[in-house]
Structure 1
Amino acid sequence: MKVSAQEADSAYRTKNQFVPYPVVGNAPETGFQFGFGAIYTFFINHDPRETRNSFIYSFNMWTAKQQQQYAVQASVWLPKNIWNFTANGIYTDYPLFFYGVGSDTKQSDEDLITSKRFKILTVAKHKIIKDLYAGVGLWVQNDNFSAADSTGIFNTGDYYGKQGGNSMLIGFGGAFDNRDYENSTTTGSYFSLLEWISLGINNYKFHVFNLDARHFFRFDATKCAGIQFVYQTAQGSATPFYYLPFIGGDQILRGYYVGRYRDQHMLATQAEFRYRPWGKQKDHGWFSLSRLSLAGFAGTGMVFSNGEFNFSNLKPNYGGGFRYMFEPTARMILRFDYGVGSKNPGEKRSTGFYISLNEAF
């Protein structure tokens, strides 16, 4: 039986999707948290064999202590992936814990500070040859920090850039990308180099360098594994503390509080195994078991200042979680992870629970 080209193409046609979801939580620094998120996925070219999916993601949250956070993230792929435009925007009036700078910061020094931040980061990448991209970017940010405890480490410590203010950076770099999917990759490689240079506003004179290398292996239709190596550094005579690389959060070394350790250099490596137990079953819509997957991960990393690299500073992490694939064609997922980090003498073990869009890497 012959199938016409038009019929074959129609099998790959996709529909745009809008997925809202509630946000509810609680934390000591905020009290009760509530809000909503929404994800809109679409294709500039509706044949996913030629063009990757695009998406716009928004996350908005308020707290019982009258704090707020608004975030928007977008990635747009033009036909045949010739251009990719990404943008991240965030406004926060939100508390966070600050522990100082270095690889040996103490839990006892934990200082609650309020961060009022407005940030926009955009990158445009153009395909030069197959799988190879060159790009430029613009990073604009305004920061204001305050701490109620006059005796805490933030007010008493010598951290450059405590006054906050405006900053602007321009970026340039390149990437190799032959992954089968940008979201929830199963096979292929990604290698990115990106340099950001401050324009000297507020006399902030520094540059930030990022290296991100990933490779994925597919064992069969239900199992795959990935490994990532990340290196970041911030250098310059006047580098604000909040631009220093850090570990922690929902992407790099899950299990550590975001920014728990920060310094001039950060390097980390992590591996993850992903398993879709019912991946071979036919998809029947929103409640299909084929859309669920499990993951386990482990890694290690550290931060260090210039000339002070030491393997003894490596900090391990491990954990696992599950994912729900709400858009199978584009492989867009909601991710639920629990990570475990190290236990310093006299402190509780570091742990973290995360709900995020798409995989950590």
Structure 2
Amino acid sequence: MKLITIRNVILFALIIFNFQWVQGQNLEKIAEFFTFYPNKKAHQKDSTLYLQKFIAAPVMTYSPETNLAIGTGAKYLFKFNGSGEETRASNIPMSIRYTLNNQFIFYSGFEVFTNQEKWVIEGNLLFQNYPRLFYGIGRDSPKENELEYNYYQFLFEPIFLKQMFAKYLFIGAGIRYNTISNVAFEEEDAIAVGPDNITGFNGSTSSGVEAAILYDSRNNILNAENGWYIEATYGVYGKALGGTHAFQLTRFDVRHFLGLSESGQDILGFQLLGSFSSGDVPFNELALLGGNEIMRGYREGRYVDRHLMAGQMEYRRSFGDSRWGAVAFVGAGDVANTVSNFKLSNFRPNYGAGIRFKLDKTENLNLRFDYGFGQSSNYFYFTIAEAF
């Protein structure tokens, strides 16, 4: 067994032991200490109002890209006044983390529903100083080409969608601004791999508009038990809008969740993800294979190219009234320079299993412990919320 595997197993065992101990010390009281209710008095006067929650607490996560990360996490769950059961709870998560790889990360991926879900406002806000490993472009980039480079990234991507034509169907548009700066790497490594020949490797700014369509019938945003999530975006980026490169991005994300038992303890989830680019695409807008959400078992960015296709299936099992659950997952994916180069025989497989610990039974929010395996790699992941 590799050293990295032994270390991950030990870390996994320590975390499981710690949460088993916490459960015995009355998790409800601990969780309540970190939970604030902005409209508690109003809810006491009018029980039809949704009891808003703002949860802020120390967080610890682990992934191969970051190593151990420690910081503060917050999550704001709310509904606007006048919303009833027909409106799902809006979710604004925020996290600030510092990692053992000397990375600083601030991130918020938000999804807000207005009254009766007439509008959805979703998007991403990210600032990070992020060392990353680079192996070259293409599905056959050799591992011996590995080099580490550091960069700063600021991403702002709000999308506004209006419910149209049918329930759960939203159509809209937004903007996307993504800038990469202060790229630094070892000179000898740069000479060996030749990143100066890669468009935008030394920094870029993507500025443009996106059209989007969304169908979202999931019963729960954080951890769905049934329903569909189908989103497609098309973005046009150019120099006239303040960018450094002119290109287009097309992305889609399809998810489906099925309940396999009347008790709701057995869930089957599917996801199909695609990213396709054209034009003068800068390096940091290329598609990345791997990560803690899809293709677990591969380091994020291990394979990079213009196009990505990947899919996964996950079986989720909860154990009665306890806070514990388990999952098993399998998937496949690949990157390619042209769409015609995708071949099913070339798709790289991944598989793995994990354990879940429910932090919030009302919102169905889990801590996630996953171990994923790729063709020649395996990684442990510890974070909050499901992979998809």
Flag whether TM exceeds 0.5 (same fold).
yes
Tell me whether 37-46 or 301-310 shows the greater mean CA deviation.
37-46
Structure 1 residue 259 and structure 2 residue 259: aligned? no
SS of equivalent to 2:341:
coil
More deviation, 70-79/257-266: 70-79
Distance 2:331 2:324 in 1: 24
Deviates more, 1:175-184 or 1:93-102: 175-184
Unaligned segments of structure 2, at least 5 residues: 1-45
Contact 1:147 1:154 in 2 (8 A): no
Q: Which whole-Å CA distance do the structure 1 matches of 2:358 and 2:90 have between them?
A: 16
Match of 2:270 among 204, 227, 230: 227
Taking the aligned partners of 1:146 and 1:107, their CA distance within structure 2 comes to 20
Give distance in 1, aligned partners of 2:66 and 2:273.
31
**Does 1:74 find its partner at 2:101?**
no
For residues 197-212 of structure 1, the aligned pairs below 5 Å read 197-200=236-239, 201-212=242-253
Task: Decide whether aligned partners of structure 1 residues 120 and 55 sit closer, same or farther in structure 2, where only a CA change above 3 A counts.
Answer: same
Is structure 2 residue 55 aligned with structure 1 residue 18?
yes
Aligned partner of 1:89 in structure 2 is 125
Deviations 1:258-311 (A, max 9, x none): 111111111111100011111xx3xxxxxxx2x332111100011111132223
Q: Cα distance, 1:19 vs. partner?
A: 3.8
Deviation sequence 1:299-338 (CA, Å, 0-9, x none): 0011111132223321000112123333333333332222
Note if contact 2:61-2:383 (Cα within 8 Å) is conserved in structure 1.
Answer: no
**1:277 and 2:309 equivalent?**
no
Distance 1:48 1:339, change over 3 A: farther
Structure with the larger strand share: 1
Counterpart of 2:228 in structure 1: which amino acid?
Answer: S
The corresponding residue for 1:355 is: 382
Q: How many residues align?
A: 337
Runs of 4+ in structure 1 over 6 Å off: 29-32
CA contact (8 A) 1:230 1:269 kept: yes
> Which amino acid in the other structure matches residue 163 of structure 1?
N
User: In the TM superposition, what whole-angstrom CA distance separates every residue of 1:179-198 from its partner, at most 9, and x where no partner exists?
Assistant: 22222111122222110110
Indicate which of 217, 222, 232 corresponds to 2:258: 217
Aligned partner of 2:30 in structure 1 is none
Q: Name stretches of at least 5 consecutive residues in structure 1 with no aligned partner.
A: 1-8, 282-288, 344-349
Superposed, 1:1-361 pairs within 5 Å as: 10=47, 13-23=50-60, 33-45=69-81, 49-63=85-99, 67-128=103-164, 129-144=166-181, 145-152=183-190, 153-156=192-195, 158-200=197-239, 201-220=242-261, 221-236=264-279, 238-278=280-320, 281=321, 289=322, 291-306=323-338, 307-343=340-376, 350-361=377-388
CA–CA separation in structure 2 for the residues paired with 1:63 and 1:299: 28
Per mean C-alpha deviation after superposition, the further-off stretch among 30-39 and 191-200 is 30-39
Aligned-residue offset at 1:50:
1.6
Relative to its length, the structure with more helix (as a share) is: 2
Kept in 1: contact 2:238–2:246 (CA 8 A): yes
